[in-house]
Structure 1
Amino acid sequence: MLQRSGLFFDRRILHGASTASQPAGCRLSGLALAFLIALLLCAAPAAAQDARCDNDKGTAEERVRDCTRIIALGKVKGAELAEIYHFRGHEFFYNLKDHDRALSDFSEAIRLNPKADNSFIRRGEIYHARQDYKRAIADFDQALKINPKNDEAYASRAASYNELKDYRRGEADIAQALRHNPKNAFAYALRADNHAVRKDHAKAIADYTEALRHDPNYAHVHANVANIHQQLKNYAQALSHVNRALQLDEELEFAYGVRGDVYLGLKDYANAAADYAKARELKPDNAQHLIGLGIVAYRKANYDEAFNLFDQALALDPKNTFAANGRGAVWDRKGNLDRALMDYEEAIRLDPTYALAISNRGEIYLRRDDYVKTLSDANQAIKADPTLGRAYSLRGLAQLRMDQVAKALDDIEKGIQVDSDDEFTFYARAEYFMAIKDFARALADCDQVLRIDPNRGE
């Protein structure tokens, strides 16, 4: 059995809300500044409606050009000039994805106006995007010193705390964000992410739904809730949300990966491969998309191709547990149990709680008639992930071969109850029926094994 990823959500982009809800920041001078911009650019008050530096008119490049012209004129000073830098930084960060220039502009805005809380927030977002979470938190701290009621600063700091696995502080900041602004879609999305980590799917979906109520065009949330639905095998709902995410943002790489996972679950391997390939095109350094392509190749019994893709993923990310497990599965299917065991153990070394790799290792011990180690791995896998059906089946098979028939049946049935889409759970029950000489039911379960995985040759 293979997995592409263990993540339930994508929070790599700190603020993924719809463009319409992305404020450039507080406007110190409001209409007066817009009027001044028009005067400087067009030399006529009547042209104020055409100013583009601080609004959504024209393209991002045109807005940057107008801001740059204002800065170059040298007539705007102090806090007003800080806003021009802030506006230009906003365009660089959100629309042009030029983080270096955005960082420079927000830093200059802060220098010119040390009380610009939104400039601290935006600079913190850049540090967060660069995974420099401690520096991000320092900027969010500063924003909150300036404005203790800034719900955006609380939510942004919560995201950075969560990345540092400081969930207690993260949860506290989410609560503060929602106290100051009960309509903060990002805060609801963050709280949903935390529920997803704990596999509390119902609460996660509820909070994602609340986020979408306040911002229906929040592409990342549509992708995240789709990811949970595909984990729950609610494929129709998953497709609905992920397609909406891609309508809103056709370059949302994470969403292509999620849709690939949905198609993989539906055994639509052509569309799964196409989406993984698109995701990889958008983000070539993300090993998860290579793993997705590897799983498709594995499912189609193209084992050499699968091996090469998992190998490429490990070259890109040597600590990727899913790639190590995937390569082990290829060795396993090819009958090289020693090499498979090495890769499974590497995956477990990288993540001692990775239930699937532990279970896969236990299957090798089972084939080597080492039932004590098999039982140990099955118990360890169940403890790590009680929703892994094949771990119960593995424990049942070990008990069956140790003549603990009653215990065996309980676990084997539990395996099918937990995951009836895993061929191994039916394989285990087929062996049980063979042991008690109920050949008709054994044959029926063997047929089910081959329906789920036509390439399984046991």
Structure 2
Amino acid sequence: MSEADRIRLRTAALSLDGGAVRDKPDAKADVFADLGSPVSPLRARASVTTSSSSSSGSAKSPAPSNAGAMGVAGGRSHSGELVAESTPPRLPGHRRCGSGPLIFSGGSSGGSGGGGGDRGSTASSPMTNALPAGNICPSGRVPVAAAAPPPPRSRPDVLGSGTGNYGHGSIMRGGLAPARSSIDSSSFLGHAPRSPATFPAASGSSSGNLQEVTRVANEWYKKGKYAEALRHYDRAVVLCPESAACRGNRASALIGLGRLADALRDCEEAVRLDPANGRAHSRLAGLCLRLGMISKTRRHLMQAGHLHQSDPSEWEKLQQVEAHQGRSIDARKIGDWKSALREADAAIAAGADSSQLLLAIRSEALLRLHKLEEADSTLTSLLKLDSILLSLLAAKLSGMLAESYVCIVRAQVDMALGRFDAAVEAAENARHIDPGNAEIGMILNNVKLVAKARAQGNELYKAAKFSDASIAYSEGLKYEPSNPVLYCNRAACWGKLERWEKAVDDCNEALRIQPNYTKALLRRASSYAKLERWADCVRDYEVLRKELPADTEVAESLFHAQVALKTTRGEDVSNMKFGGEVEMVTSVEQLHAAIGSPGVSVVYFMSAMNQQCTKIAPSVDSLCSEFPSLNFLKVNVDDNPMVAKAENVRIVPTFKIYKDGARVKEMICPSLHVLRYSVRHYAVSSS
């Protein structure tokens, strides 16, 4: 690409920042000021004062009133383009061709002869940015008489339409190419340049393409279609790689897609391309705050403030994040996990929602507070962020690098949830990142010892050496006394050794650390059954039925525990049954006997001629198989109208649920979701 082409591409991006989207995708005040219509690359200050010398340097520019004639009296179009008067005044040092429009010499500052007029002429253009209007020859001479000018018009003619086809006549190319403009980088962001500059006309195809690509990209962005917007912003960056505005726009789309590392790179590149751009500094500061980069946020907010682009609310957010993060780190040092969690959450809510350091503190605090599921979900969201961002953090915890600290937290959470191999790998990664840290070395050693003890215990258990296996698990608990997996595994050993009380104790400890530990709950329920503690056994199996509704073994165990409990209470269990098909009821007496038996009965009133009954019938059969501890009954109202009359059933399908002879629920034409929810509710609550 030639130098002139690069100039055209830079100039075509002149007013893009008016359409640069903001960092917050959900903000309602996004401004796309200039991108609704084509934007001319001739955007400049409203009043321009220039001076240029001719090739001989003997004549000066016209008086300032000349500039006013073109820059003010002539006016500017809405997009910033120059407007030519229909009857321009005669200027000294310039020649007319007949009565045609004024013809400027093509001389440029510093040029010798340029595209100017006669050799003896020393006149120069009164405005550097003025575009020619009329038939111009490279030498400035007119070979034939110019046509008479058109009659005066009430509205000025706009030179150029934003497509690069400037002027109203045939322009002969023969003069020197204009020198590369020294354009202030802020002009690429929609601001006027700090000093006058000569803006070369942009190539029609490049300028038009860039404007159109950016317009389409912004439309997609406003609709929340960030992937489509990014695709077009990528094209804009290719067309104008040195534009800070293009980089900033693309960063906004990347933020909307959650690709914060890529957005950070584009924001930094925008600042590098245009260090005097306050908006670019402000955008970068906002992104750094989200990532928890306190020092970097402060530095760029100060730069934005110097350029009058600082937002006081951003300073307030920074102060809040910094204060809460500091208190969270201090609380971690002394083991005050509740305070550490509270302060980390406050810092995240204040604006650092993607800070990996704060998410790691939060995950560790939840782990220590025995909220393993929350700790694991927080860790999962942390790992979705780009790991490259961690290397940019300068924060340390107890002398531990932030990147290695995240690995240590990951190792501890993995180990608590039984992912021992992953825990060892994460701890080794932390040691590789920060080899000299003593705390990391100690944690890595403990993780390896616990993983080794668990592996040995598993091998011994498989070999039916249950006593030795329990010793191996106990050895692992010396290094990690809050590991629920080791407690649950040791409880299994006690069960094989028929030491039920010790099995219950270890299950209790595992459930204290991890309340939703299903395997520990199963082992405790079976241990209660061996100890004939039926009330406790039924309670555990009811919880398991809620968590595992499709597990027939759990359903059967619950049924037997309920039978045993009723037996110890002296209640009649002769009519209780488990499993089977839906029983057809043909008489009122049969119905009363069935619903009067202990347990829960579901009575389905149906008609073979009813379409809704036909549709829901397979679901009733499925529920009967899924909840075998319930007694499912079916009444065909067409064949047994007396039963329907006795139960006051007039609409089908109707479902009635009875518990120990008393009606507890009635549903007329229920949805499958409501029916299933109700059946499940009474299945797990029956005792």
TM superposition score normalised by structure 1? 0.37
**Higher relative contact order, chain-length normalized (CA < 8 Å, sep 6+):** 1
**If you compute each CA radius of gyration, which structure gives the higher value, 1 or 2?**
2
Which is richer in strand? 2
TM superposition score normalised by structure 2? 0.27
Which is richer in helix? 1
